[in-house]
Amino acid sequence: MPDAPTEYTVPLGSRRARADKVLAAAFPEHSRVAWQRALCAGLVAADGIAISQADSVSAGQRITFSFPQTEPLALRPVSIPLDVVFEDEHLLAINKASGMVVHPGAATGEDTLVHALLAHCAGQLSGIGGVERPGIVHRLDRETSGLMLAAKTDAAHRGLSEQFAERRVFKEYLALVSGRPQLLSGVVKSPIGRNPNHRHKMAVVPPEKGGKPAHTDWDLVEGFRDWAALMRCTIHTGRTHQIRVHLHSLGHPLLGDAVYGWSLKKMPLPVEISETPARVMLHSEHLAFTHPVTGASLDLRAELPRDMRALIEQLRGVCR
């Protein structure tokens, strides 16, 4: 059953405009898509007469509306422990563990981040797009650990999505790479596109062949002789595998990243290192953004996971 109807009178002095635009401006907590669903379902009326998406409304008209009931997502909530860094009624930020897949797919089980969020946020999720689901607004690769944001409400989902699209989210990663850069910092602005020879991989590709702008700033945090280095990367764009591709293009592939050039045989670590990297050594450490509902500034950090800390400590020990 739809919600109980709400009444709204178009303010005097308003210009005639499409109903979904007028209502979206008056009630920004609901998305334009939500209004379109309500209009298509016949749940919006002007002066008692149902209106459609194509209809316009004028000043002084009395609008009544409700929303269709949210459908449950066809996935089973699964109670999986999450490392929550921040949470309120609008959104949450987690420190994702390496190995956790974000979205369900043909090759995944019931152990994805979406399954975990459905359980963690039970009863708190809105109908984003008409379906009860967590609003995941960005992604991390399966092997990458660190901060991820998820929206609980339409307003938070829309606001976070806009900030990511407009590149207003500050994003820093820590990366353990093979070799040590000669410089202390640098900028990479090489465009990125699909690898023409391996479609599952990305590569530095010129714009005329489909490469899209990509911008990464990097700083050397700590060097371990010529074996490895800890680098901090700030990304200003969000291309697939951006840091992995850009650091590989510098001749410093991430430790554990066999897809983008790392090989223990070709790039050996000290013999004293007891455990070789079992995954891509990349961690989303720092996100700074504006809360999409309250307007507060949020500055969030996630601790390095145990495997990266352990490898760094071993490298430090060998270099003493």
Active site positions, annotated:
141
Q: Residue 85: what residue type?
A: V
Alpha helix locations (H) across 59-188?
A: 113-120, 154-165
In this structure, the chain runs to a length of 320
- Is there a contact between 292 and 163 (Cβ–Cβ < 8 Å)? yes
Fill in the DSSP letter of residue 277. Answer: -
Distance CA 282, CA 78 (A): 26
For tokens 């009630």, what's the residue? Answer: 27
- Paired tokens of 126: 């809105």
Distance CA 97, CA 104 (A): 16
Handedness of CA 243, 245, 247, 250 (dihedral sign): negative
State the pairing for strand pair 131-132/71-72.
Answer: parallel
In a 10 Å sphere around its CB, with 0-12 CB exposed, 13-18 middle and 19+ buried, how is residue 83 labelled?
Answer: middle
Query: Which is nearest to 222 in space by CA: 306, 144, 288, 320?
Result: 320
- Residue 18 pairs in a beta bridge with 56
Fill in the DSSP letter of residue 73. Answer: P
Fill in the DSSP letter of residue 5. Answer: P
Q: CB under 8 Å to 120, separation ≥6 — which residues?
A: 79, 82, 84, 92
Fill in the DSSP letter of residue 209. Answer: G
State the pairing for strand pair 202-204/192-194.
Answer: antiparallel
- Is there a contact between 245 and 192 (Cβ–Cβ < 8 Å)? yes
